[in-house]
Structure 1
Amino acid sequence: MYDNDQAAREWTKGMSSLSADEIVEYTTEMERVDSLNQATVFGILDKEGWPYHLSEKANRAIWIVIDHSDLAYRSKYLGLVKEKAEEGVLDKTDYAILNDRVRMEEGKPQIYGTQIKMAATIVDDDIAMQLCLWPVENPAALDSLRSTVGLSPIKEYLKTSSESIGQEIVWDKEKTVADFD
């Protein structure tokens, strides 16, 4: 299941060289794989709860299926993901990412600073689109909170993430959730 999920997303690495028709084709396949995986995983979770004695890869597959679902399912299983992270079945970073994503989609500031979003900013008196860190609930405590779940300091995260995607990610501590609407 994990391998199918990741294989269905492999095309995104070369997305800039694809035609619009190819993007639609690959997106349709990715959504088909997600739908099948979600039906399987959510059926198990709803009937039996999180299975015990799974491999690390199988536990990771369950998390990734939840992560790739819509907000309703992410919200529904967030508490279960937190429980499994506290038990050591999942990484605490998995919970932090899912929690921040749910909060962002609900229009709330994030806790751990894992989510970025494109936002209009003013650069040299012009409006430009820029990748920005989604607003954080407690900027002063961010690095401390990140360390509790095994995440690197925010400055390091922004630097390495910017380098890996080839575009600067800006953290404007003055931006609020309303600035992203």
Structure 2
Amino acid sequence: MHHPYLRIALLATGLALCGAARANDACSDIGAELAARVGADQALRQRVDFLDQTSPAQRKLFSQIALVDRTNTERLKAIVARCGWPSKEKFGQQAAGDAWLLAQHADHDVAFQKRALALIEEAASARGERVDRNFAYLYDRVAVAEGRPQRYGTQLHSPDGKACGLDFKPMEERSQVEARRAELNLPPLDAYRRMVLEMQHCTSSANPGDSHYPQG
């Protein structure tokens, strides 16, 4: 049986070779590659145990996730440089969503996240549309990384170090955040926090009397 590190090294190498093999491919072929990269991203993240994030096994998993994120980011940057942002009008809704997810997880490269954010906004403007919830998540991700308050309340953390003690990272005035969320058909802040707690397998009893707010 392969060691977990060997498996993830092989996965990352495979993703890198996939990118190299496609370097000269037409831009119309990037949809399948983006989907494969998102598949690798999600396969790892689905193994995260939010209630046991400090165990040796989970620490190894986070290292694996970081390696795949870096590989995916470098490939997405190359795709953007060659083909432009994978917008839905050029490559379809699925490819656009996959590109956004890879950018969302490029936390080690905030400069690229900011560029992706601008390109997503430009694409929406060119279509005559307002920005969508993907833009909101990425906007908040960048804002938090730069020490600015969120505008949409999508990012949470555990200030006391307890997995189920989620609170929102600093955000702008709550009523304004709620209004922006409503415009994008995002659930109200309290409902969103409950959804995240459920996703992380935190029962209501794990947060008795907790009236704080919520990680996207």
Q: Hey, what's the Cα distance between the residues in 1 that align with 2:73 and 2:195? A: 31
User: Is 1:56 aligned to residue 98 of structure 2?
Assistant: no
The amino acid of 1:32's aligned partner reads L
Give 5+ residue unaligned stretches, structure 1: 122-128, 173-181
Cα 1:113–1:160 change in 2 (3 A) is same
- 1:4 aligns to what? 40
> 1:88/1:64 Cα in 2 relative to 1: closer, same or farther (>3 Å)?
farther
| 1:78 equivalent in structure 2 | 117
Partner of 2:176: 141
Q: State how far apart, in whole Å, the 2-side matches of 1:11 and 1:118 are.
A: 20
How far did residue 19 of structure 1 move?
4.7
| 1:46 and 2:85 matched | no
Query: Is the contact made by 2:156 and 2:168 (CA closer than 8 Å) also made in structure 1?
Result: yes
**Cα offset for 1:25?**
3.5
Structure 2 unaligned segments of length 5 or more: list them.
1-36
Alignment of 1:107-126 (within 5 A): 107-120=147-160
8 Å contact from structure 1 (residues 92, 150) kept in 2: no
TM-score (norm 2): 0.63
Distance 2:199 2:167 in 1: 15
Q: Deviations over 1:105-130 (max 9, x none)?
A: 11111111111122249xxxxxxx93
Contact 2:153 2:168 in 1 (8 A): yes
Q: Give the whole-Å Cα distance in 2 for the aligned partners of 1:151 and 1:88.
A: 21
In 1, the alpha carbon distance for the partners of 2:168 and 2:50 equals: 24
Select the structure that is richer in strand. Answer: 1
TM-score of the two chains, using structure 1 as the length reference: 0.74
The number of residue pairs the alignment matches comes to: 164
2:213 paired residue number: 171
Let me know the Cα RMSD of the aligned residues: 3.2
Letter of the 1:3 partner, please give it.
Answer: G
Which one-letter code corresponds to 1:138 in the other structure? E
Query: 2:146 & 2:119 partners in 1: Cα distance?
Result: 19
**1:119 counterpart letter in structure 2:** P
- The secondary structure found in structure 1 opposite 2:52 is helix
Distance 2:54 2:61 in 1: 10
Q: Closer, same or farther in 2 for the Cα pair 1:133/1:11, shift >3 Å?
A: same
Corresponding residue SS for 1:11: coil
Does the 8 A contact of 1:118 with 1:130 survive in 2? yes
Instruction: Select which of 137, 142, 146 maps to 1:97.
Output: 137
1:151–1:77 Cα change, 3 Å: same
Q: Please tell me the residue identity of whatever aligns with 1:155.
A: D
Are the equivalent residues in 1 in contact too, given 2:52–2:58 (CA < 8 A)?
no
**CA distance in 1 between partners of 2:197 and 2:50 (Å):** 18
2:31 matched residue in structure 1:
none
Q: Distance in 2 between matches of 1:118 and 1:24?
A: 17
Q: Is contact 2:85–2:116 with CA below 8 Å preserved after alignment?
A: no
